[in-house]
Amino acid sequence: MRSKDFLSISDVTIEELEALLERAVHVKQHPEQYRQALAGQTLAMIFQKPSTRTRVSFEVGTWQLGGYALYLSGTDLQIGRGETIADTARVLSRYCNGIMARVFGHADIEELGKWATVPVINGLSDLTHPCQAAADFLTLKERRGTLAGLRLAYVGDGNNVAHSLMLAGAKLGVSVSVATPPGYGPKAEVVERAASDAKRTGARIAVEERPEDAVRGADAIYTDVWTSMGQEQEQQERRKAFAGYQVSAAMMRLANPECVFMHCLPAHRGEEVAAEVADSPQSVIFDEAENRLHAQKAIMVELMGKR
């Protein structure tokens, strides 16, 4: 990759993203060839937010590549007591070979990237979730063989996951339609950036209000929780706003017969998705969860691996 960091799908070119997915396929199929890829290296993992998939996949992945992952919660660092992100980035760069951070504000991950002299990986921010998108499109690639020309519908909150799906889909030739209630749509600047990239690949980026319009004829239907971490005070308001946006069996029937159901997890069955959909043969949610491991190993190999 041209950039030393992986903060957003926007940071990589179309060719780099395609190569990253090819690397992820190879890492998954031939793990024995990568057992020393990070030998002697340490990944500092900063968690402002708790996590299941991000922590376990990065920690296990680093170990499988021959490195060591160091878990650092908000209470383990001096950031919570007034030390600047810039100073933290510079100190960790003297100790570690890479930094992965799961943060609230995207400005924090950008500040880490600005001041760190080692690669910084965005494990999640309020704006983007690039590692999740890499795993999602790896999953679709495995299922369909090729990505160009596919249609993905996202139903729900126009959040960080929706942003990264649009940005990645545009670069990979996958048309992405996002259906959200009024006031909960994706950020305009992200939509514009994705639409610009889509011109090169022939993909279509669209924002709808009616879920039926987005999912009709789709090859994949994706959703996420209606209330993300840090938005708990909005939970009741959001449940009302998102009524009618649950991915149900009836909604799945509007899509292509081979359509898969996708979710970044954790899933709230009975809210954003019906249990019969989440646990159906069409569901690939646990394939996506597994592929977080392989996609992130590929990212670490690309950024931190021995040349």
Active site residue ranges = 102, 129, 132, 224, 264, 292
CB-based contacts of 32, cutoff 8 Å, min separation 6 = none
Beta pairing, strands 151-155 & 205-208: unpaired
Q: What is the DSSP string of the chain?
A: --SS-BS-GGGS-HHHHHHHHHHHHHHHH-GGGGTTTTTT-EEEEEESS--SHHHHHHHHHHHHTT-EEEEEETTTSGGGGT--HHHHHHHHHHH-SEEEEE-SSHHHHHHHHHH-SS-EEEEE-SS--HHHHHHHHHHHHHHHS--TT-EEEEES--SHHHHHHHHHHHHHT-EEEEE--TT-PPPHHHHHHHHHHHHHHT--EEEES-HHHHHTT-SEEEE--SS-TT-GGGHHHHHHHTTT--B-HHHHTTS-TT-EEEE-S---BTTTB-HHHHTSTTB-HHHHHHHHHHHHHHHHHHHHS--
| Distance (Å, whole) CA 118 – CA 112 | 10
